Amino acid sequence: AQTVTQSQPEMSVQEAETVTLSCTYDTSESDYYLFWYKQPPSRQMILVIRQEAYKQQNATENRFSVNFQKAAKSFSLKISDSQLGDAAMYFCAYRSSPSGGSNYKLTFGKGTLLTVNP
């Protein structure tokens, strides 16, 4: 079964600084997608960024970028120029096809709580 590990339960960053959240995963599949979701205090799950396993180029969305290392099965999220509104729980998630036994479900890590200090 696929597993997703977020080794940092909590992280903090100063406003305007850069922070990197770690995520590793375990899979034997070759075709899959990786996601980062943000959950602010409102509890809403918000998609931050996604990465296809076949693409070598790292995805970028404005201040958010990923460092995808397929061989190492690592998928870290970098937040640049951190803002107070970035404070949230961040979840790394993995999705593969039913051939990998997943029914297209998202497999989530346990989350990293990010605090942004003014």
Q: State the residues that interact with other proteins by CB under 8 A.
A: 4, 9, 31-33, 42-45, 47, 50, 52, 91, 95-98, 103-106, 108-111
Distance CA 29, CA 26 (A): 9
Nearer to other proteins, 90 or 116 (CB): 90
Nearer to other proteins, 64 or 108 (CB): 108
Instruction: Please name the residues in contact with 112: beta carbons below 8 A apart, sequence gap of 6 or more.
Output: 6, 8, 9, 10, 11, 21, 22, 89, 90
Give 88's strand partners.
114
Minimum separation from the CB atom of position 41 to other proteins (A): 11
Minimum separation from the CB atom of position 17 to other proteins (A): 26
Residue found under tokens 């346990």: 110
Nearer to other proteins, 14 or 30 (CB): 30
Minimum separation from the CB atom of position 111 to other proteins (A): 6
Which among 23, 109, 35, 8 is positioned nearest to 73, based on CA atoms? 23
